[in-house]
């Protein structure tokens, strides 16, 4: 299940975690990420315009893999699907969110930091989950320990990842991709200038190419 999406996620290497307060910023942000070679975005449902932003970004950049983040309930899964989201990410593990995403055929990456949560995900045939907040839950060391029993399982760590430790995370083969907000912080494009986003996205993608070839 979701093999094609997992392959895509591995190629992407980094998924920017986006918090958008204004729909008007959605397409310029997608433009800036695309210019930096980062063709994905996890648009979080922390703001009321998330679904609209997903729709706008997907329409302007059909080549980009735009998904929904911070998805906490079934209503948000459905709103994300209707907006054209290509994947669903949750900070934690919620059975209803996982089941509804699977029913809709949407790849879902619930947050899992314990063996119990990883087991729940695997019992739904999920081969990749988010690991959040990565730094606080022990980072790579915890991920490596979890990977011992869960052979075949892979993680997308998010939380505390930056240009400084991206290479270390990506170098571990069980890391399919890393999530992070460091290249899309709202303060970077406050004045409507998105060039810093492009610069940081390009820098991160250079690390992905270095590690993945």
Size of the site for ligand 3PG (CB under 6 A): 10
Query: Which residue, 16 or 83, is less far from ligand 3PG as judged by CB?
Result: 16
Which long-range contacts does 186-193 make (Cβ < 8 Å, 24+ apart)? 186/19, 186/20, 186/21, 189/25, 189/28, 189/29, 189/32, 192/28
Of 1 and 92, the one with the shorter C-beta distance to ligand 3PG is 92
Minimum CB separation of residue 75 from ligand 3PG in Å reads 19
Which residue in 7, 8, 42, 174 is the catalytic one? Answer: 42
The least CB distance from residue 151 to ligand 3PG, in Å, is 26
Gap between the Cα atoms of 42 and 45, Å rounded: 9
- Extract the tokens encoding 144: 């490596």
Please identify, using beta-carbon distances, which residue of 25 and 69 lies nearer to ligand 3PG.
69
Q: Which stretch binds ligand 3PG (CB under 6 A): 49-57, 141-149, 152-160, 169-177?
A: 152-160
Residue with tokens 């959040």: 132
Closest CA to 42 of 137, 181, 167: 181
For residues 37 and 66, the answer to whether their CB atoms sit within 8 Å is: no
By CB under 6 A, name the one of 33, 66, 159, 177 that touches ligand 3PG: 159
Q: What is the CA radius of gyration of the chain?
A: 16
**How does DSSP assign 73-98, residue by residue?**
SHHHHHHHHHTT-S-EE-SS--HHHH
Residue 139 contacts ligand 3PG per CB under 6 A? no
Q: 52, 117, 130, 190: which one is catalytic?
A: 130
Token pair for residue 47?
Answer: 């703001």
Give the residue with the Cβ less far from ligand 3PG, 1 or 114: 114
Residue 129 binds ligand 3PG (CB under 6 A): no
Binders of ligand 3PG among 178-207, rule CB under 6 A? 179-182
Could you confirm whether 42 is annotated as catalytic? yes
Give CA–CA dist 95/168, Å, rounded: 32
Is residue 117 among the annotated active site residues?
no
Out of 160, 174, 186, 196, point to the residue binding ligand 3PG (CB under 6 A).
160
Q: Report the interface residues with ligand 3PG, using CB under 6 A.
A: 17, 132, 158-161, 179-182
Residues assigned a catalytic role? 42, 130
């Amino acid at each position: 299940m979701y093999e094609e999406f997992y392959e895509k996620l591995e190629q992407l290497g980094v998924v920017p975690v986006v918090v958008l307060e204004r729909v008007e910023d959605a397409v310029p942000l997608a433009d800036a990420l695309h210019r930096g070679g980062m063709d994905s975005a996890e648009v979080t449902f922390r703001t009321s315009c998330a679904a609209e932003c997903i729709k706008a970004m997907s329409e302007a950049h059909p080549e980009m893999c735009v998904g929904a983040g911070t998805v906490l309930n079934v209503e948000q899964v459905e709103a994300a699907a209707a907006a054209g989201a290509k994947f669903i990410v949750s900070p934690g593990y919620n059975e209803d969110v996982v089941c509804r995403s699977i029913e809709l055929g949407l790849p879902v990456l619930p947050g899992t930091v314990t063996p119990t949560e990883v087991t729940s995900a695997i019992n739904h045939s999920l081969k990749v989950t988010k690991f959040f907040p990565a730094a606080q839950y022990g980072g790579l060391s915890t991920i490596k320990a979890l990977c011992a029993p869960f052979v075949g399982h892979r993680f997308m760590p998010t939380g505390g990842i930056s240009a400084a430790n991206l290479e270390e995370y990506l170098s571990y083969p069980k890391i399919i991709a890393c999530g992070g907000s460091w290249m899309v912080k709202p303060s970077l494009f406050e004045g409507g200038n998105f060039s810093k986003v492009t610069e940081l996205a390009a820098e991160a993608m250079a690390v992905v190419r270095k590690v993945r070839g």
